[in-house]
Amino acid sequence: MTVLEPLKTLTQRVADGVLLAVPPEYSFVPMTLIRALIQRPVKDLHVLAVPIGGMAIDMLVGAGCVKTLEAAAVSLGEAGPAPRFTAACEEGTIAMRDSTCPAVHTALQAVEKGVPFMPLGGIIGSDVLANRDDWREVDDPLEAGNGPIVLIPAIRPDVAVFHSPVADREGNVWIGRRRELASMAHAASETVVTVERITDDDLMADEATAAGVLPAFYISAIAEVPEGCKPLGLIDHYRADRDAIRAYAEAAATEDGFRSYMQHALGGGAGLAAE
């Protein structure tokens, strides 16, 4: 049964050392929850970007919360490269596993289907494949002359996190057309969600909304956190604050700048995991 709980309690569901699935910048990123995890601080995370990362992952990396990261890309989009991620890769302070967008989705879909791996085409001969010893290239097992394929092992996150505009009191959460959130929740052992608001309406009862709703069966806990995506945007609620994102990119270009920014963002009372 889905539990409604305060944000501080919700953060305790993301234990040190877990495999954490985080959505891309365009898809309901729980920025307030991410900052709360840094403030705790969470440590030794194995992070899976589904399938690319942005400001949330850059903050986690810069704060020393991340041990390993698997992603197809990490950047701040129009604001430029993700500075703390870039520095961590150059300095070797995180273990980076390069992936592709289809490969990340395929790994989660394998868990959805209850199989240990899924086949994927399109990356034969790539440098990414050449540097992934856990992916296996095999001949067409049906011997139908289709050429080689790559087998992608299933990835089951310990915890998936995202922010949504609304959930109901039964624990059903609206995700609209953002199907990567469904794959994350289906594959993860636990899914914790922050939302703009809790409604008394049953989101599953209306045919107009039900198709865009993730059933409570997949949700472990929810916290009501208004404006929980800021400074990123949330569809039909608020736009991304481009000036704030650029300000972060400029500050985070240096270690000292990043720490000054985060101390301000976290209210001055936070310890960062790297300290």
pLDDT tens-digit series, residues 96-133: 999 999 999 999 999 999 999 999 999 999 999 999 99
- Residue 270 in this model has a pLDDT that exceeds 80: no
Task: Name every residue whose Cβ is closer than 8 Å to that of residue 15 and which is 6 or more positions away in sequence.
Answer: 42, 158
Q: Give percent of the chain above pLDDT 90.
A: 90
Q: What is the mean pLDDT of residues 219-244?
A: 97
pLDDT tens-digit series, residues 59-94: 999 999 999 999 999 999 999 999 999 999 999 999
- pLDDT, residue 206, reads 86
Burial 10-41 (b: 16+ CB within 10 A, else e): bbebbeeebbbbbbbbebbbbbbbbbbbbbbb
Taking the model in full, what pTM does it have?
0.95
Q: How far apart are CA 35 and CA 32, in angstroms?
A: 5
Q: What is the mean pLDDT of residues 55-60?
A: 98
Under the banding of pLDDT at 50, 70 and 90, the label for residue 2 is confident
Task: Name every residue whose Cβ is closer than 8 Å to that of residue 140 and which is 6 or more positions away in sequence.
Answer: 146, 147, 148, 149
- pLDDT, residue 274, reads 45
CA 96 → CA 43, 53, 127, 133, 147, distances in Å? 16, 13, 14, 13, 30
pLDDT tens-digit series, residues 164-222: 999 999 999 999 999 999 999 999 999 999 999 999 999 999 888 899 999 999 999 99
Q: Give percent of the chain above pLDDT 70.
A: 97
Contact, 47 vs 186, CB < 8 A?
A: no
- Residue 147 in this model has a pLDDT that exceeds 70: yes
Contact, 174 vs 212, CB < 8 A?
A: yes
Q: How far apart are CA 91 and CA 179, in angstroms?
A: 35
3-state secondary structure of 264: helix
Q: How far apart are CA 258 and CA 243, in angstroms?
A: 16
- pLDDT, residue 271, reads 53
CA 65 → CA 14, 135, 228, distances in Å? 12, 27, 20
Contact, 173 vs 134, CB < 8 A?
A: no
Q: What is the longest distance spanned by two Cα atoms in the chain?
A: 63
Under the banding of pLDDT at 50, 70 and 90, the label for residue 268 is low
- Which CATH homologous superfamily contains domain 3-100+155-262? Glutaconate Coenzyme A-transferase (3.40.1080.10)
Q: Chain-centre distance of CA 202, in angstroms?
A: 27
Q: DSSP letter at 155?
A: -
Using alpha carbons, select from 87, 83, 99, 89 the residue that is nearest to residue 135: 99
Q: What does the DSSP assignment read for 133-151?
A: TTSEEE--TT-SS---EEE
Domain with CATH 3.40.1080.10 in the chain: 3-100+155-262
Phi-psi region of 110 (alpha: psi -120 to 50; beta: other; left: phi over 0): alpha
Under the banding of pLDDT at 50, 70 and 90, the label for residue 144 is confident
- Residue 275 in this model has a pLDDT that exceeds 50: no
- pLDDT, residue 273, reads 56
Q: What is the mean pLDDT of residues 216-240?
A: 97
